[in-house]
């Protein structure tokens, strides 16, 4: 059991270091099973968002010496989930958690990808200066 947990930890570490590898792996697996490019892209965006959260948090901690950006991203996700839930409750009278998770995954993918690229460039610049 311990070996399995260590293996899963190493797998998460690898996919969080290179989150776009997770995108490509997920896209290939889903496309191979369904032969639907749209579904493969959507699932890949949802899964990669989870790895991008960890990656952006670690990169910001290494660059700025503070983990505040990671917690801020998590807070923004929670606030957005609350706002989406409120909107769904007012519009439909019920809250669909799966739909909220999908929306957050896809919007988060775009937002976190931009943060990842920006932090990567800042990190490279900081490394070149010091």
pLDDT digit string, tens, across residues 18-47 = 888 889 999 999 999 999 999 999 999 989
Global confidence as pTM: 0.82
Give the pLDDT band (50/70/90) at residue 116.
very high
Listed range (11-25, 41-55, 82-96) with the worst mean pLDDT: 11-25
Whose CA is closest to 47, among 30, 26, 74, 64?
26
Residue 30, pLDDT score: 94
Burial of 5 (0-12, 13-18, 19+ CB in 10 A): exposed
Residue 36, pLDDT score: 92
């Amino acid at each position: 059991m311990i070996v399995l947990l260590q293996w899963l930890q190493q797998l998460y570490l690898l996919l969080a270091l290179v989150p776009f590898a997770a995108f490509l792996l997920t896209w290939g697996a889903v496309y191979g099973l369904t032969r639907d490019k749209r579904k493969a892209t959507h699932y890949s965006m949802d899964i990669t968002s989870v790895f991008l959260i960890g990656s952006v948090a670690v990169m910001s901690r290494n660059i700025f010496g503070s983990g505040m950006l990671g917690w801020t991203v998590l807070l923004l996700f929670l606030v957005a989930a609350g706002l989406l839930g409120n909107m769904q409750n007012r519009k439909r009278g019920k809250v669909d958690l799966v739909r909220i998770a999908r929306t957050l995954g896809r919007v988060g993918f775009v937002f976190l990808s931009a943060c990842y690229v920006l932090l990567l460039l800042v990190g490279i610049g900081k490394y070149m200066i010091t």
